[in-house]
Amino acid sequence: MISEELQSLLLKYAEPEDSLLQHIDRETNLKVLMPRMLSGHYQGRVLSMLSKMIGARRILEVGTFTGYATLCLAEGLTDDGLIYTLDINAELEDMVRGNFAKSPLNPKIKYIIGDAQQSLQHIDEVFDLVFIDADKKNNGTYYHLIFDRVRPGGIIIVDNVLWSGKVLGGAQDKDTKNISNFNDEVANDQRVEKLILPVRDGLFVIRKK
């Protein structure tokens, strides 16, 4: 939703993308369907910064894709920190595990394949940071499932809440209406402080009171 000129300027002043993240970006675009689902350099730096700012010890990510955002979030983990990343796409598992194996952060990553709602039942943790970037129709489902497992002061981040500008334009297709309804629900949730960052496709940053 931002111009290429502004995007270039933002990247000029962002921390550089390391070689592994560059590799994941390149391989995703070459080999994986819908590569635009990858977070990319600028959004990756935003996720890394937020993780570092709160000093996350436990992170949950719903929706791994090819692991780019996972590694960015993991950069902010404490020495004893862990990130649980959940994804249902077993076809990408070998690629993702290979990407993680190349990173010194690999021992801090718990990569779980399966239905996220079921996987969550087997994880007994309280989270400092949650990143929801999976099937958009279930944003609300994931939000409610994890809410009581986020510590006070913890952050929930939900991706794609502007939905390629369709939310702003008031589109009436089912996906856009689902996302708009979720956004409205969060806006009315008095248990949290919240704002949408116009980063890439929209990041809803939600702080639990």
Contact 157, 47 (CB under 8 A): yes
Residue 97: exposed, middle, or buried by beta-carbon count in 10 A (0-12, 13-18, 19+)?
A: middle
| CA–CA separation, 94 and 65 (whole Å) | 12
* pLDDT tens figures, 163-207: 988 998 889 999 999 999 999 999 999 999 999 999 999 999 999
Categorize the per-residue pLDDT at 132 as very low, low, confident or very high, splitting at 50, 70 and 90: very high
